[in-house]
Amino acid sequence: MESNKKNTNQEDKKEEAEGLQEGSEIEYVSYGGEHHLPLIMNLVDQELSEPYSIFTYRYFVYLWPQLSFLAFHDGKCVGTVVCKMGEHRNTLRGYIAMLVVLKPYRGRGIATELVTRSIRVMMDSGCEEVTLEAEVTNKGALALYGRLGFIRAKRLFRYYLNGVDAFRLKLLFPRPEAHQHQSIMKLGFGTYELGSDQQNEETSAE
């Protein structure tokens, strides 16, 4: 029975990959209600190492439904991102809690699109930064967030239940006064960029 099940799973994954190669498009939708919750839970349970209760999922999607997105291919949910935002040290901070894309669909920009949609809503809502944790061994996730501009702010030792360390990653949005200062410097004295010392000072905080 196990052999048959394994063969069936392999055939399903092959069909999924072939379907993508044929050019069928990925559809992205924002969280639309309780009917989406089992889809998110199933994806996260399959792919992520940390176990979550249904109350954890509901905490995120009920309070911040506008920050959660799902990706569909031919009616099947193949990716999701779950986020929140809130006050942190007198600023509004966004937080990416879960990001999952099924293995046959990785490397096709789905994760980037999901995260970008959430970040865009956070920016429009007034967030000044976005944070998340990622396993130090998860090279794919670290590369993805690096391309999006996240920096490694801190290493968290034995952060996960499996004993693996995590990097806390942080994305800082330009402040209005920084934009204004850059505009003044460009008008009078050429292009001005924030120095590395200031950037390091800002990102050393949790």
Q: Which of 23-37, 118-132, 161-175, 180-194 has the lowest mean pLDDT?
A: 180-194
Segment 87-94 shows an average pLDDT of 93
Q: Which two tokens stand for residue 13?
A: 């994954």
Domains of the chain, residue spans: 2-172, 174-206
Q: What is the pLDDT of residues 141-159, one digit of tens each?
A: 999 999 999 999 999 999 9
Percent of the chain with pLDDT over 90: 67
Q: How far, in Å, CA of 102 to CA of 10, rounded?
A: 13
pLDDT (0 to 100) of residue 51: 83
Q: Beta 91-101 vs 129-135: how paired, if at all?
A: parallel
- pTM for the full model? 0.75
- The pLDDT confidence band at residue 130, using thresholds 50, 70 and 90, is very high
Domain covering 2-172 in this structure, CATH number = 3.40.630.30
Q: How far, in Å, CA of 16 to CA of 98, rounded?
A: 23
